[in-house]
Amino acid sequence: MKNPADYLSGHVFEARRPRRELQPVVAYADAEQAITQALADAEKYKYLLMRALRRHADEVALPAASVPQSEQGRVLPLYPEGLPLAA
C-alpha cells in the first residue's frame, strides 16, 4: 500500500507565508489526480479483501454432509415461542 505522499507525482514546491517558515505546496490539479488514484487503489484493495474473505468463508463452511438430514431445509423460528414481542 502506498503512502499518501507517493500519490503526488507532480512538482511540490515550498512557499513562505508571511512571518512563517517554508511550507510545501501542491497544485490543485496534482492533488485532485492523487485523490483519484488513491480512491481507485482503495476500490482495488476492497475487491481483493472481499474476495479473500469469501474464499476463507467457503473453506470454513460446514459441508452439507455434516448436517443431519432431518435438519436440512428445515426453517426454524427466529424467536422461540413464549417470548413476548415488543409492541
- Tell me which DSSP letter residue 78 carries: S
Picking from 34, 44, 36, 40, the residue whose alpha carbon sits closest to that of residue 6 is 34
- pLDDT score recorded for residue 85: 59
- pLDDT score recorded for residue 26: 83
**Whole-angstrom Cα distance, residue 12 to residue 16?**
13
Q: Looking at the predicted structure, is the pLDDT value of residue 36 above 70?
A: yes
What is the grid cell recorded at 78?
Answer: 427466529
pLDDT in tens, 66-82: 656 666 676 766 666 76
pLDDT in tens, 15-25: 877 778 887 78
Q: Dihedrals φ, ψ of 14, to 5°?
A: -110, 140
Residue pair 3/42 in contact (Cβ under 8 Å)? The answer is no
What is the grid cell recorded at 66?
Answer: 455434516
